[in-house]
A and B are shown apart, each in its own frame.
Chain A
Amino acid sequence: MTEPTVLVVIVCLYLFSAISDYYKDTSYNSKIFVAGFIIHSLLVIYRVVKTGQPPFIGLYGNLLLLPLLIVFRLVFWQNQFSKFIRRSAKIFALLILGAAILLPASMKQPQTVKPALKSIWMFIHVPAYFLGYMSIIIALIFSISILMEKNNDKQVRKKLCTEVKISFFLLNFGMITGAFWAYQSWGNYWSWDPKETWALINILILSLFFYEPNLKKRAWIVVFTFLSILFTFLGVNYILPGLHSYL
């Protein structure tokens, strides 16, 4: 079975689980979802073994890893999330995997790792950001549920706050470990490179969350942070040239 076929199988399993979830929430759906998660994990591990590179190198690798992290949260902490959150998170994971399938074949090939990237910091700085992105996606889903007035109780407020705290810390952690790595590789812990600047912008926007008393405004801050992160993740690489043009 080829890699694209496996990817289509994973998408089908997640899609089936998401659609069945919508009509009836049974343990059968959960089992299908877990099966998708296991195959997804095996695919990521297979790529790591085949290419000899960590899964976060290249856009294709990123688009496989990020939904895996979201699904991981849903599988192991499923009681933490309401039906709406679970369904929405599955749709998010599906959209990202869909983008991975649609990438041109040339972007799916393993890339040569630049010498400056061969450092222990890569295994600290990049995963921290990925975990931070995973948390902000979960926070975004909570925010959408608040804005759509699906659920506004105290529990949702608390969970949103927890996700934002995790994301805020990990974005800071990623930025500071990046500063240490940059000091080692480029001689400068901070160069005002577009990626660095936008990483700082994300943190500044998200910091407003902690000072805002209104819940809906807090939800909007998370939405804007997500859009800013999306631009940092994709837009900066293709629009603004800089030291971080690795994707």
Chain B
Amino acid sequence: MKETFYKYYKYCVLTLVIFLGLASFFTNIPPQPSDTLFTQILSFFNLPNFYNSIFHIILWLILASILLYGIIRIKNFTPSLKFLFLLIIILIFSIIYEKSVNKNYTVNLRTGEKITLKQLNSTRADSFNIQLHDFQIKRNSREKVSVGSESKLILDSKDTISISINDPIQYNQYKFYQQSYHLYPQINLKINDTILIVTAPDTISYDNQEYAIQPINQKYTRFRIKSDNNHTSLIKNQPVYFESNRFQIVKGEIIKESLIQIKEIQGTKLVLFLLFIYLFSLAYALWGKK
């Protein structure tokens, strides 16, 4: 009995290890256009998307059934070990449930911008507005390095919450996290007498000619303007003649965009609680009374 359990446990764990290991490499490979044997094998095992595949879930369910076999059939397993196995089985099912019902959304908002939950998930009944009221980047006073960021959100047009990195806020069945931010330099570019608003890096069209505008430095004070054959540097308020046109940055500002993650949290706390209990049961199974 015990040998059968060991044998199946070993095979199942080794299969899981091989597929998890392979998937960690192939998840980073973009889909290949050609229909080679290699890509056929990849798609057969769904390796680039293995973690979300039914094959992956089946492997964990097989492991759960092997552990269940251990609980029911093997008499000389200690009660603490059987409890640990039971807990792992419950954990496998609750994680599969939690991952399948909950969705994550990442939204990019600029100050004043608004989005509704219905836009993110049309199936949700409890839709409400999310508006970015204010966004601040905290910097180290000495080195001017970013040490964090904070978003003030108005939810459902009435409740104001403030989130920062490592300090999320729960609202109804959602958790709001400050994930990161983007900075976009927005410039008013004057070409001869025409003013264009450009969020660099971008490509603009003027007089049937395409020009790429790219920031050169991180402070966004210098830009490179590039045509098909030529390029030059552009500094704020300093006109530059480039390919018979006069270019000048007349106004420049940095647009901040907050990256906020909204996560549905149905059953998440139960999983975390089970993980906590698992640690204690593991310690007891390893060192407790036999």
Seen from chain A, the residues whose Cβ lies within 8 Å of a Cβ on chain B are 112, 115-116, 118-119, 165, 168-169, 172-173, 176, 179-180, 183-190, 192, 194, 197-198, 200-201, 204-205, 207-208, 211-213, 236, 239-241
Contact = CB atoms under 8 A, between A and B. Distances in A.
Contacts of A173: 279
The 3 closest A-B pairs by CB, nearest first: A187-B177, A115-B148, A192-B51
Interface in B1-30: 5-6, 9-10, 13, 16-17, 20-21, 23-25, 27-28
A176 B165 CA distance: 20
B231 interface: no
B51 A204 contact: no
A239 B103 CA distance: 29
A202 B19 CA distance: 14
A190 B51 CA distance: 11
Given A211-B6, A211-B9, A204 B17 contact: yes
Given A211-B6, A241-B28, 5 more contacts: A115-B148, A116-B165, A169-B286, A185-B166, A197-B24
Contacts of A172: 278-279, 282
Contact of B20 (A116, A200, A207, A241): A200
Interface string B35-51: 00000000000000001
Interface stretch (B204-212, B235-243, B268-276): B268-276
Contacts of B272: 179-180, 183, 189
Given A115-B146, A188-B263, A201-B17, A194 B24 contact: yes
B85 to A, nearest CB: 11
29 contacts: A112-B143, A115-B146, A115-B148, A118-B147, A169-B282, A172-B278, A172-B279, A183-B268, A183-B272, A184-B166, A185-B177, A186-B177, A187-B168, A187-B263, A189-B268, A190-B99, A192-B51, A194-B27, A194-B28, A197-B23, A200-B20, A201-B17, A204-B17, A204-B20, A205-B17, A208-B13, A211-B6, A213-B6, A236-B24
A204 B16 contact: yes
B278 A176 contact: yes
Given A173-B279, A179-B272, A240 B25 contact: yes
A213 B6 CA distance: 10
Given A176-B275, A183-B268, A197-B24, A165 B166 contact: no
A240 B16 CA distance: 19
A33 B175 CA distance: 52
A236 B148 CA distance: 26
Interface in B163-222: 165-166, 168, 175, 177, 179
B168 A184 contact: yes
Nearest to A185: B166
Given A169-B286, A186-B179, A197 B20 contact: yes
A236 B62 CA distance: 28
Interface of B: 5-6, 9-10, 13, 16-17, 20-21, 23-25, 27-28, 51, 95, 99, 104, 143, 145-149, 165-166, 168, 175, 177, 179, 261, 263, 268, 271-272, 275-276, 278-279, 282-283, 286-287
A110 to B, nearest CB: 12
Contacts of B175: 187
B51 to A, nearest CB: 4
Given A115-B165, A197-B23, A212-B6, A179 B275 contact: yes
Nearest to B18: A201
Contacts of B95: 190
Contacts of A189: 268, 271-272, 275
A241 B25 CA distance: 10
A185 B278 CA distance: 22
Contact of A176 (B27, B268, B276): B276
A211 B10 CA distance: 8
Nearest to B271: A189
Nearest to A213: B6
Contacts of B6: 211-213
Nearest to B106: A187
A184 B145 CA distance: 23
B28 A240 contact: yes
A66 to B, nearest CB: 23
Nearest to B260: A187
- Most chain B CB within 10 A, of A168, A187, A205, is at A187
Given A184-B168, A188-B104, A112 B145 contact: yes
- Most chain A CB within 10 A, of B24, B147, B279, is at B24
Given A115-B147, A115-B166, A208-B13, A169 B283 contact: yes
A184 B51 CA distance: 22
Contacts of B177: 185-187
